[in-house]
């Protein structure tokens, strides 16, 4: 709605400018016509014109104004024409971005993730391309909102989103999955590398500080594509969700993943990353 307001204001300014310049042209033409009529009258009667010099200066100024008004009018019409002709290219990009990103955090939203993930998952299924997912949930987020207010909660969401965006590759995507839940999709990434990314994100989030909240923690689940998921992308997401809830059930502020044998394990703290 805010973007629509901006567009309406922009077009309103263009239209007002056009009308003002169009009106000025008529005023200038009227001044020129008045001058010519007066000049003709004095020439006919051969009477001394005491205002001749004034009219002459006014005419010169009017001609200059008329010339500039024409240039501005042509420029305005040209800009309006270009905007109308390329309005899809100018405005649709922002509208498409608004439809695919979360307005608060700037991360991709669930709608974009669904499309991106289905495509990446299909490639992993068909061509055995590695794929890892990280899901994280801000611990005790409801308590933060209830205690300090939703404005403070929004600040935490933005801070966590900033950590996610700044600690992934260009080929990865970070998504606000819903509420205080986030997903990081890591194409062509094995589980060991994904766990390292999760450790780094967890450690960076723990350094977030605000005036009232001294430490923010997250619970995380990390999953790697395996043949057991087959072609069912939803099964991988469901398993990831189970890993996240296992982290929360074990006391939060931890990462749950799998070992080489497929057993659910808690990721050990890495002193080089988490310390």
Residues belonging to the active site: 180
Note the helical H segments in the chain.
Answer: 2-45, 52-85, 87-100, 110-127, 141-148, 150-166, 191-205, 233-249, 271-274
Whole-angstrom distance between the N-terminal and C-terminal Cα of the chain?
45
Nearest one of 260, 220, 218, 267 to 243, comparing CA atoms: 220
What are the C-alpha distances in Å from 25 to residues 33, 36, 64, 78, 163?
12, 17, 11, 17, 57
Angle (CA) 108 111 116, round 5°: 75
- Between helix 233-249 and helix 110-127 the angle, nearest 10°, is 110
Please spell the DSSP secondary structure of 154-193, one letter per residue: HHHHHHHHHHHHHTS-TT-EEEEEETTEEEEEEET--HHH
- Between helix 87-100 and helix 2-45 the angle, nearest 10°, is 160
**Cα distance between residue 227 and residue 130, in whole Å:** 11
């Amino acid at each position: 709605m805010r973007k629509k307001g901006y567009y309406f204001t922009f077009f309103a300014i263009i239209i007002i400018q056009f009308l003002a310049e169009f009106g000025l042209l008529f005023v200038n033409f009227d001044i020129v016509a008045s001058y010519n009529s007066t000049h003709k009258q004095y020439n006919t009667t051969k009477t001394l014109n005491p205002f001749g010099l004034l009219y002459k200066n006014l005419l010169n100024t009017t001609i200059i104004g008329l010339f500039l008004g024409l240039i501005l009018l042509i420029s305005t019409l040209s800009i309006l024409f270009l905007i109308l002709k390329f309005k899809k290219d100018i405005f649709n990009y922002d509208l498409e971005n608004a439809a695919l990103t979360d307005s608060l955090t700037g991360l991709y939203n669930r709608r974009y993730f669904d499309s991106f993930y289905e495509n990446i998952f299909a490639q992993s299924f068909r061509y055995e391309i590695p794929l890892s997912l990280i899901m994280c949930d801000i611990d005790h987020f409801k308590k933060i909102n209830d205690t300090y207010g939703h404005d403070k909660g929004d600040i935490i969401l933005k801070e966590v989103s900033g950590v996610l965006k700044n600690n992934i590759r260009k080929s990865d995507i970070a998504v606000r999955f819903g509420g205080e839940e986030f997903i990081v999709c890591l194409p062509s990434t094995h589980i060991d590398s994904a766990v390292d990314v999760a450790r780094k994100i967890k450690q960076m989030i723990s350094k977030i500080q605000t005036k009232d909240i001294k430490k923010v923690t997250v619970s995380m689940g990390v999953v790697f594509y395996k043949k057991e998921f087959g072609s069912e992308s939803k099964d991988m997401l469901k398993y990831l969700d189970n890993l996240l809830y296992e982290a929360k059930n074990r006391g939060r502020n931890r990462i749950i993943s799998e070992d080489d044998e497929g057993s659910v394990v808690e990721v050990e703290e890495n002193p080089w990353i988490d310390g």
